[in-house]
Structure 1
Amino acid sequence: MFPSSAIPRPEYPRPDRQRGLIEGVDWLNLNGPWQFRFDPQRRGHDEQWFGRSGPEWREQIIVPFCWESLAAWGEADAAGNDHFYSTRVFLKPLEVTRENHRIAARHEVGWYRRRIEIPDNAHWRNHRIILTIGAADFATDCWCNGVHCGHREGGYVPHEFDLTDALTAGDADSPAREALLVLRVEDPMDNREQPVGKQWGWYTPTSGIWQTVFLEPRAATYIDNFRIVSDIDQGRVSFEVACAGLQPNTTALVAIIPPDAPPHQLALTISGSVATGDTEVYPVSLWDTADPKLYRVVFRLLEDEREVDVVRSYFGMRKIGTVPATDVNAPAMLSLNNKPIYLRGALYQSYHPDGVYTATDARTLCRDISFAREAGFDFLRIHIKLDDPLLLYHADTQGMLLMQDFPNFGEGGDTPLGRQRFEEMLRLGLARDFNHPSIIAWCIFNETWGFGGQTELMKVILPTSRATKEEVKEAAQKLINTSSFKWVHEMWQLAKSLDPTRLIEDMSVVAWEHLAAYGHVDTDINSWHFYLDDYAKAKAHIENVIAKTHTGSSFNYIEGYQQRGVPLINSEYGGVGALDGDRDVSWSFKFLTNELRVHGQLSAYIYTELHDVEWEYNGLLNYDRTPKEFGYPPSMINQGDVLPINAPPIAQHAPGSTVEVEVFSSHFSRRRREGVTLQWLVSGMDTLGTHHPQLTRGRARIPFTHHRVELAQRIQVRLPEQPMLCALSVAAVTADGQPVASNYVQHFVCGAPPPEREETANSLILRRRVTDWTDAEWSESHATREDAIKAGCCYGYGAGYFEWEFTDELIPLIGQARRVRVLCEVSSRRIDTPQTDAHRHPTSFELLINDLPVHRTLLPDHPHDSRGALSYLRGGRGGFGYLMRGAIEGELLQQVAAAGARHGTMRLRCAVPADTFPQGGLSVYDYDCGRYPIGPTILIEWEQG
């Protein structure tokens, strides 16, 4: 496409099933502006809006974006983390808020209209003209030149309409055939009996067209669909091509273009309407996450040597399965291409602030996968959404494994109609995406959404003051739904019959201990969910699940079913749940992932989630895809080879004590590592900001067995005698010096608060607790002393200051000092606590001694991430600041001495000046909070001798 094209999403939408090659020549992309009308009274049918003489349509919508999106109305540039829906869709837009927009009354019917010309060339002449809508939610009717061309239902799979017989013939002046296309899409707010996924009450709904609309010519004899099945064990590939309009003289051919060998052609055998064949593949070039090699294929139908239809696709030679564990009672291990694999996954909801269900630029989908790979993930769970085929294509080409969830119906939708629609969507969705090598598993249902159910579960999880114990108990009982679980089992069996090449999970399960019936039936994957932000509780929980999962165990299964030889995976986990607000995830991601990697009985984990969505803030990326800062590379604990540490992320110890730390090796990269040495180093920072880069170090050869988790080394560390924040860092290094894995934990070495006065041979150290300020004044509110004691820091909003007074008999002599140093950890102050990212909250900062400015700077943010380890140790959320090191010497020192120091007093003021901007408030951290073990400190250094 042209780089300046006005067509949104201009690329061919189905690289896995591609007919057209040149847009405007052999296919037409109909994305872009269409005339549009809402139909609140449903008058369109009676008033014949589908006719040529219908009323004037003054509204315009941008296809392929749902009408709830900003992109649909040309406002995509305004979208962002806090702005992700349009008010144009609501019946009373002025009454809509962030809190009610998912349930506020909105338009349910929309009409689209557009005039087109069919190209007059050999590709289109004497061909059927087929309109394809990639996806439209939910019920779609199509008219061409006033002729009704069909009615379709379903929000996730393509709709096709044959326009040929309704086209208006051209004339001598304009030989091209013309069409007035009119589409009516209805998506009722009461969508409980529709497959909707997280549109049901969680995020912004998706109504109307949300995938590319395109037109292409098709011969009377054509390829309808096909299945490609590879067999790496036999080195063969088989093809099954369903055709329409086959004639006695039709020939079906498939050309195979391998990645590492010359192309060759196979003639297929035609029986009825299906052409089949299989062939040897030599050499076998495996599709793997590290090297996703693809075989290109071209299907051709010929009639008397004349080519009548051509479809291009591709396939990968790959196999997903399981291998037995060493312990016969342990869960099986997942395997890829017959080798054990430990999958590192993220939940991928694939929502977008500008287009809701639709990325406004396909490169966003590509970048999402690229970011996931950079963060160490090789696996994404597409969450209760059948996604854009372009996303699956990029996963195929980049080597990202996928579990594809089927969208559940809405709460209360477990009715005959709801089940019928779900089954139809399952069949069609599975058929659409069967050939993607990236998809290795289907998940039929998420938890018990839609049949017993989200509403009742919320009463159990979050009982309110209005819910009695009896009501909570009754809600729990409603989850025990024998009929629904019987149907779940039937759908699992159906999916197994439709796709025997992949793993099928019946339901992604939450192991609620008080709900015995909330578990698996038959399944190829035994999964469970948990959300915990406490290290000890998470460690105990994971160990409990591991201990109870063994052959014959009924744990995590409903009555009548039990664990057999299937892998155990965690299919959702995190320290920040959907209702926990905008907080740092870096801390919990590290220790939770570390704890999961300790256990070799697991085959996979799926972190919630890759990116934030609307009001759910637990992503590695923000909703607008800007990255969050972690304080460490996420791939450190999230790659094929890692060094899990059996210890909390930070712990407090007495000075001079000895600690023992267990380090494990988890070696699941594709490349086997030999001769691995573990290196460890203890470093630290003391209460005066001095770095101690090498307190202790050591090295030892360790076991690093491929496809195994095992204890590598017990490291004993004697901690320093002085207060300090220490880090134990470990690294696995090969014999040639190549680092393959690393990790760290921290130790806060402190028995008591550092002394307020400390004198050495050449210096005087004076410290204050942040709670002991002597004066404070702020333009807005500021912390009380009780607030500061609880938080470990004092803070104020707007402009103002905190001041501490230092008194000592030696202060009058500071004029004779070599210099005076001032230390403090400070940041700006904001009301909320989001993780550090590109969206900053800066503030002006000034440091004064005895009312004399000694340091000025801009504090860029109020950061929160894993670097705020001391804040987490005391129960906070990772807030920390920037270490200020003010040095006072020379003439400035003499001015300070003259400005009150002769009275034995020094006043340290941390301020946001009232005459500067920005005025983003201020936080001042104590020695046991933030990033550094440093509170407000004055260090007077005397001349030696």
Structure 2
Amino acid sequence: MRQSWSLDGEWQFLIDPLQAGERESWYDNEQPWNEARKVAVPHIWQREGGELVGYHGVAWYRKTISLPGRDSGKQHCICFDAVDYRCAVWWNGAYIGEHEGGFTPFELSIPAELMQEENQVVLSVFDPKDNAEIPIGKQGSWYTRVSGIWQSVKVEERASSYVGSVLVTPDLDGMKLGLRAELLVGGGHDLKLDYTIRPHALGEENTFEAASYSGELGELGELRSEGRNRPIQVKWDKPVPGMLLWSTEAPHLYEIEVCLSDASGVIDRFVAIFGMRKVEQRDGRIYVNNQPVYIRGALDQAFYPDSIYTAGSVDEIRKEIELAKQMGFNLLRKHIKVEIPEYLYWADRLGMLIWAEPPNFVKWTEAARTRFVSEIEAMLKRDYNHPSIIIWSIYNEEWGLEWDLEFDPEKQKHVAELYDWLKEWDPTRLICDNSGWTHIKTDINDHHRYFACPEQLDEWREDLDELLIGNPDKNFVAPYRSQGEPIIVSEFGVWGLPSVERLKDFYDGNEPWWFINQGEETHQDDYKKPTTALDNMDKFGLASAFGDFETLAVHSQRRMFRAVKSLIEEMRKRPAIGGYVVTEFTDIEWETNGWLDFLRQPKEGFDRLIDFNGACCVFAEVERANLWSGEQVSWELVLTNDDGKRMSGEVKWSLANSAMQGTVQVEVDDVWKQLPGAITFTVPESKAVLPERLVLEWIVEGTCVARNEYELTFTPKQLVNADRESAVAIHGLNAGFQAALEANRWGTAATDTLTNEAVMVTDCLDKEAESFARQGGSVLFLAEKGDGLKASGPFTFRQLAPGESWPRASSMNYVDSRCFDGLPLLPEMGWELEGLYPDYVLPFGDYKKVGVKRTVNMFGNPGTAEAGEVISGYFQGWLGQNGGSIVRHPLGKGYVTVVTWKLIERYGHEPMATMIVNRLLHIAKDGTPYEN
């Protein structure tokens, strides 16, 4: 039988920046080890901090071990779960082999003549700086690099003939298993294989009762492997009537024990864990065990705040997966990383679907492709039996294909061949050829689409309807076309900044090393650097709007919640969408779009994620969030029922701050149901602008199976008719705007009779408007057209990225809400400003203007913020790429209040736009009591 000795624990460690170690025989030379430090393996050398965070090159490891109870008549191997990246191994001073590849296991045979009572193993590990041609994923490119013996090590003792692996292929429709074993035979003697299949021995009370299966796999005769690494493959089909299925709700696991015997008896045992389940795609849906599954997934890059690339403990893994299920997720997309085996095991145990994806390379070369395919094959062999894995990706966003797949027939052929090879290797799972971008051959038509909401809600709806659903062929490289594959939005999301104080507490009061961005040059933008937030918090009106960074972070998280809620609801209202994978499960270093922060703590408001991310949800089609008193409302309800169970009940709706409610009887026998006109009411009268919440509860047999809330505002029309003290002169605006001013009881005056007691309102800051301000006048400059303005005086504008944009999804608009006292404006700007969000800002920092053929670096003007009062602004990520959308700025002896909110066409028609313009006219004239 086998026995093993763990080599985890204390090792010696040395760096070798001059790569002199092998020339100087460090594997058999005591002198250099006098300078070694002690480290604990598994070991990522970047965890040591200091110079090692940024160190790349060669490092050495050494350990002295004894192997008590060793049988000298058996063979011995040293087994590594993963070493990043290239390593060479010496045993008692003799070279025994090397390996290349940073994510998957390998083993090396130890010659019998090298074994001693006390043994010394030495490794040199090389992780190159120029890593573009090796599979790396995001470590060392976006985030902290990972180098060293980063997974477990052991020595294993075996008979000369043994079972190398057992791959189990479930056939649910035929209720049988395909078994494929690899044998390594060291002698020419008769061999026999037997098997036993039983429920996986969990060692816990919840082990399930089920039938076991056993029998002979047959006589193998006289076999001999052709060399140490040339296993013999044998295959069988075995019926398993009554075997319980693996699913997310009931993750039944089995184990198969294969015994290898010769004339003397059993000489080897091998145990593999598997589950009985089936995966396919048809009719625009993913099916598991012949049942449709709506994918509610999260991208998981599996970085950690202290251990970097491995979970700290099994308890941490269990907690993560259990929390993901509580949040409503049924799938985790393990993003460009071969996940550690322990995580996949607990995904199997707890019933979490996995979308697996190999680490990418960057530069398109023959050597890089060879390494990449080798890593994929090693991943397939290691992880084949995990029932949780239902999808294999090949590429992500053409990383490694150099982003020209559409124009390169060689790369198209390469991707198609990889798909065919992988499908032949594993026909039991779905394959995604190029996640998120244009496809060649795929089982999933997935998209990566980043929008910010509420500000881009209309663009998001258009994107879903006209591109994803309306034109699925557009996501394929011609002449390839969609074959009706499930449409999955496999990346989308919005940022929510974390608590810096909580992070510093975790790191013993210090700023973590990754506050200095560890990514390569393309990730050195200011908004990707946490240090930017520390520099900018007291600038650009941020302190006036929020007070301090900790408060800002809470509002940022609320903005994130509001955004992902609306993004997900729009997808779930469209049954043609087969699911989604949000970016992402947790924050990673500087990238803060996680639903959990980097410390695995839920963000503000995220205890209600299940409202829109659960199996059963109820949504309202809120046509407008901001309503006049007296308006008649008729909104539809949409119910989603991913489990497909027939349910009879009712939906109760109510207005939290008004005495209005209603009940709708519902019968649901499908996964999606639409109820037009289910919510009807008349907006009540009030004396002030009223923030309101629409609350929905779906009740079945006395139990609330789903609830939801929507933010509204109600504005009484009598506020429009209040008397105004100031006169207003219109300069350049259309007649409709003047009529709206007069309807709001503003007195209007001709521009040639203006005095400094009046306010000029204009959309054209020409010489006349500038002159009025310079002489002491007050100008309200409605500059929402930005670069389209005929005259803008001394101000320049930056257009915010229209349409899909990853950087914009990191952004937040903000306002000093104290300046609008009496109006329910949130500092982070929510649905109360629906339709009013700016398309342009005054740029305070330098920025890049992306064109069709090139990207142009543009200058910002921080002096605009320094000289003026920023009432409303914009930032991306860690308070970078700053801009202003309401700035009261001195000009000569007067002031110009520049506003890029979209107000002109909405003034007088939409309630919040009307109330805001009325308030801005006062601010333009009198300023604010809160000048920042």
Do the structures match in fold with TM over 0.5?
A: yes
* Letter of the structure 2 residue corresponding to residue 108 of structure 1: G
Counterpart CA distance in 2 for 1:135 and 1:712 is 56
* Letter of the structure 1 residue corresponding to residue 478 of structure 2: E
Asked if 2 retains the 8 angstrom alpha-carbon contact of 1:586 and 1:865, the reply is no
| Residue 382 of structure 2 is aligned to residue 432 of structure 1 | yes
Judged with a 3 Å threshold, the aligned counterparts in structure 2 of structure 1 residues 544 and 757 are, in CA distance, closer, same or farther, namely closer
SS at structure 1 position matched to 2:478: coil
* CA offsets 1:540-583 (integer angstroms, 9 cap, x no match): 2112234424xxx5210011100103211111111349986674
| Residue 213 of structure 2 is aligned to residue 264 of structure 1 | yes
Spell out the pairing of 1:699-778 with structure 2 (5 A cutoff). 699-711=663-675, 714-722=678-686, 723-734=689-700, 736-751=701-716
- Corresponding residue for residue 450 of structure 1: 400
- Corresponding residue for residue 811 of structure 1: none
- Corresponding residue for residue 698 of structure 1: 662
- Corresponding residue for residue 64 of structure 2: 115
Kindly state the Cα deviation for residue 359 of structure 1 after the two structures are TM-superposed: 2.0
* Letter of the structure 1 residue corresponding to residue 356 of structure 2: Q
Spell out the pairing of 1:237-636 with structure 2 (5 A cutoff). 237-245=177-185, 247-258=188-199, 259-269=208-218, 273-304=232-263, 306-324=265-283, 332-410=284-362, 413-453=363-403, 480-510=407-437, 519-533=438-452, 534-549=456-471, 554-576=473-495, 583-584=556-557, 585-630=560-605, 633-636=608-611
Kindly state the Cα deviation for residue 451 of structure 1 after the two structures are TM-superposed: 2.4
Counterpart CA distance in 2 for 1:189 and 1:229 is 40
* CA offsets 1:504-537 (integer angstroms, 9 cap, x no match): 1101124xxxxxxxx1001111100111012222
Kindly state the Cα deviation for residue 302 of structure 1 after the two structures are TM-superposed: 1.5
* Letter of the structure 1 residue corresponding to residue 58 of structure 2: V
| Residue 35 of structure 2 is aligned to residue 58 of structure 1 | yes
Asked if 1 retains the 8 angstrom alpha-carbon contact of 2:28 and 2:93, the reply is yes
Counterpart CA distance in 2 for 1:603 and 1:270 is 48
- Corresponding residue for residue 908 of structure 2: none
Counterpart CA distance in 2 for 1:703 and 1:570 is 29
Judged with a 3 Å threshold, the aligned counterparts in structure 2 of structure 1 residues 632 and 182 are, in CA distance, closer, same or farther, namely closer
| Residue 23 of structure 2 is aligned to residue 41 of structure 1 | no
* Letter of the structure 2 residue corresponding to residue 599 of structure 1: R
- Corresponding residue for residue 132 of structure 2: 192
SS at structure 2 position matched to 1:539: helix
- Corresponding residue for residue 201 of structure 1: 141
**1:89 aligned to 36, 40, 52, which one?**
52
* CA offsets 1:93-136 (integer angstroms, 9 cap, x no match): xxxxxxxx6xxxx3311100000001225xx4532222111111
SS at structure 1 position matched to 2:411: helix
- Corresponding residue for residue 165 of structure 1: 112
- Corresponding residue for residue 922 of structure 1: none
Judged with a 3 Å threshold, the aligned counterparts in structure 2 of structure 1 residues 66 and 557 are, in CA distance, closer, same or farther, namely farther
Q: How many residue pairs align between the two structures?
A: 670
Judged with a 3 Å threshold, the aligned counterparts in structure 2 of structure 1 residues 294 and 67 are, in CA distance, closer, same or farther, namely closer
**2:656 aligned to 664, 680, 683, which one?**
683
SS at structure 2 position matched to 1:198: coil
Counterpart CA distance in 2 for 1:125 and 1:711 is 75
* Letter of the structure 1 residue corresponding to residue 449 of structure 2: F
* Letter of the structure 2 residue corresponding to residue 159 of structure 1: F
Counterpart CA distance in 2 for 1:928 and 1:370 is 42
Asked if 1 retains the 8 angstrom alpha-carbon contact of 2:405 and 2:412, the reply is no
Judged with a 3 Å threshold, the aligned counterparts in structure 2 of structure 1 residues 317 and 291 are, in CA distance, closer, same or farther, namely same
Counterpart CA distance in 2 for 1:30 and 1:215 is 7
Judged with a 3 Å threshold, the aligned counterparts in structure 2 of structure 1 residues 709 and 252 are, in CA distance, closer, same or farther, namely farther
Asked if 1 retains the 8 angstrom alpha-carbon contact of 2:8 and 2:42, the reply is no
SS at structure 1 position matched to 2:492: strand
CA RMSD of aligned residues (A): 3.2
* Letter of the structure 2 residue corresponding to residue 499 of structure 1: D
Asked if 2 retains the 8 angstrom alpha-carbon contact of 1:297 and 1:313, the reply is yes
Counterpart CA distance in 1 for 2:828 and 2:75 is 58
* Letter of the structure 2 residue corresponding to residue 739 of structure 1: C
* Letter of the structure 2 residue corresponding to residue 679 of structure 1: K
Counterpart CA distance in 2 for 1:666 and 1:440 is 23
SS at structure 2 position matched to 1:209: coil
SS at structure 2 position matched to 1:50: helix
* Letter of the structure 2 residue corresponding to residue 397 of structure 1: R
* CA offsets 1:216-245 (integer angstroms, 9 cap, x no match): 212111111121011111111121110101
* Letter of the structure 2 residue corresponding to residue 145 of structure 1: N
Asked if 2 retains the 8 angstrom alpha-carbon contact of 1:63 and 1:210, the reply is no
Counterpart CA distance in 1 for 2:179 and 2:219 is 11
* CA offsets 1:27-84 (integer angstroms, 9 cap, x no match): 22222221111111111111000115453343335344554432xx3xxxxxxxxxxx
Asked if 2 retains the 8 angstrom alpha-carbon contact of 1:231 and 1:319, the reply is yes
* CA offsets 1:305-336 (integer angstroms, 9 cap, x no match): 52211122221111111232xxxxxxx21111
Kindly state the Cα deviation for residue 752 of structure 1 after the two structures are TM-superposed: 6.8
Asked if 1 retains the 8 angstrom alpha-carbon contact of 2:281 and 2:430, the reply is no
Flag structure 2 segments of 5+ consecutive residues without an equivalent: 200-207, 224-231, 497-522, 529-552, 724-777, 783-809, 813-825, 839-910, 914-918, 920-932
| Residue 102 of structure 2 is aligned to residue 155 of structure 1 | yes
Asked if 1 retains the 8 angstrom alpha-carbon contact of 2:495 and 2:594, the reply is no
Counterpart CA distance in 2 for 1:635 and 1:865 is 23
Kindly state the Cα deviation for residue 364 of structure 1 after the two structures are TM-superposed: 2.1
SS at structure 1 position matched to 2:593: coil
Judged with a 3 Å threshold, the aligned counterparts in structure 2 of structure 1 residues 288 and 537 are, in CA distance, closer, same or farther, namely same
Report which stretch shifted further, 149-158 or 53-62: 53-62
**1:127 aligned to 74, 81, 85, which one?**
74
Counterpart CA distance in 1 for 2:680 and 2:719 is 26
- Corresponding residue for residue 620 of structure 2: 645
**1:655 aligned to 629, 641, 646, which one?**
629
* CA offsets 1:363-418 (integer angstroms, 9 cap, x no match): 222222111111000001000000100010010000000110111102xx210101
Counterpart CA distance in 1 for 2:433 and 2:622 is 35
Counterpart CA distance in 2 for 1:375 and 1:34 is 40
* Letter of the structure 2 residue corresponding to residue 120 of structure 1: G
Asked if 2 retains the 8 angstrom alpha-carbon contact of 1:677 and 1:700, the reply is yes
Kindly state the Cα deviation for residue 260 of structure 1 after the two structures are TM-superposed: 3.3
Higher helix share: 2
Percent of paired sites with the same residue: 29
Kindly state the Cα deviation for residue 194 of structure 1 after the two structures are TM-superposed: 0.2
Asked if 1 retains the 8 angstrom alpha-carbon contact of 2:162 and 2:268, the reply is yes
* Letter of the structure 1 residue corresponding to residue 710 of structure 2: V
Judged with a 3 Å threshold, the aligned counterparts in structure 2 of structure 1 residues 234 and 448 are, in CA distance, closer, same or farther, namely same
Kindly state the Cα deviation for residue 269 of structure 1 after the two structures are TM-superposed: 3.3
SS at structure 2 position matched to 1:352: coil
Counterpart CA distance in 1 for 2:288 and 2:448 is 24
Judged with a 3 Å threshold, the aligned counterparts in structure 2 of structure 1 residues 485 and 132 are, in CA distance, closer, same or farther, namely same
Asked if 1 retains the 8 angstrom alpha-carbon contact of 2:398 and 2:405, the reply is no
